[in-house]
Amino acid sequence: MSKSGVGISSFWLKVTAVVAMTCNHVANVFASTIPTAAMGLYPLGGITFPIMAFLLVEGYHYTSNVRRYALRLAAFAVVSQVPYSLLWGAVPNVLFTLLVSLGVLVAHDRVSSRPLFVLTAGMATLATLPFDWGLVGVLTVLLFHRLRHHPHGVPMALAVPFLAIGLPPALAIVSHGPDAVGALSMLTADPFAAAAPSFSATNTIDDLGALPALWATVFFALVGFFFGSALITRYDGRRGRPMKWFFYAYYPVHLAVIWLMSVLII
């Protein structure tokens, strides 16, 4: 995507994603312990899923075996679910969302009947509502795929999480001030609520208090949209260092480490 001689390889996009993801998860779990730091760290997580979604599409286009790609995702999703559940309960983790998204991409390219594809993709997408990043994530991946060669495809695709996650709390804060939390409960009575903080679960940014959590969510969406777009559009198609297994393994390992730290510290 980068037209100049200075670009970013997929390796550095992945490094950025795992660093941002770690900051976000640390902020979630230790929000009440390090409240000021958590407010700064949490929004960085907004960069993570845009990069993951974009690289899933790139991986789908360049993989020599989609079935093996799906099996890798499924295996690490299952392994990751153990530490993920210890931290956030029985919510399917984001790798399951990416796995379903991969299936939607395959259906998009292989199902010749458009009505049948819409029905299949719609059912699969709705099934992800309780997942981490759920419906919003699948739609973002599909848009990255459909707009892959569009000159403004990246920000157009990222408009979905930007609006779905950032707009409801922003509207609540602007229009209702101190009563923003009550307003948000009405605004988020929709399928996108699964992608935003629950304001009731444990180990989440809402441990800072409801209003700070609303602001953190707004900045999460802003950072994800603007910095995610800026980084992805610098992608130059290079693979970079071949450390595929490190990045797969990092997800469950860092979750396990954060859970262990929470047991020892909180």
Q: Where are the domains of the chain?
A: 10-265
Other C-beta atoms within 10 Å of 219: how many?
Answer: 18
Sequence-ordered list of residues with C-beta below 8 angstroms from that of 81, at least 6 positions apart, any chain: 92, 93, 96
State residue 25's pLDDT score. 97
Measured CA to CA, the distance from residue 98 to residue 45 in angstroms comes to: 17
- How far apart, in whole angstroms, are the C-alpha atoms of residue 172 and residue 154? 27
**Number of other CB atoms surrounding residue 189 within 10 Å:** 10
What is the arithmetic mean of pLDDT over 239-251? 91
Tokens 């950032």 locate to 166
Contact at 8 Å (CB) between 233 and 154? yes
Contact 190, 8 (CB under 8 A): no
- Over residues 195-214, mean pLDDT: 71
d(Cα 93, Cα 81) in Å, to the nearest integer? Answer: 6
Q: 113-132: per-residue pLDDT in tens? A: 999 999 999 999 999 999 99
The pLDDT score that the predictor gives to residue 178 is: 53
pTM of the model: 0.89
Q: Which two tokens stand for residue 208?
A: 């800072």
Alpha-carbon span 136 to 108, nearest angstrom: 17
What integer pLDDT is reported at residue 191 of this predicted model? 37
- Strands annotated E in the chain: none
DSSP designation for 152:
T
Going by C-alpha positions, the residue among 229, 218, 251, 194 that lies closest to residue 51 is 229
Weakest mean pLDDT among 71-85, 118-132, 192-206: 192-206
* Mean pLDDT over the full length of the chain: 89
User: Do 38 and 27 form a contact (C-beta atoms < 8 A)?
Assistant: yes
Please indicate whether residue 178 or residue 202 has the higher confidence score (pLDDT): 202
Nearest to 72 by CA among 98, 49, 42: 98
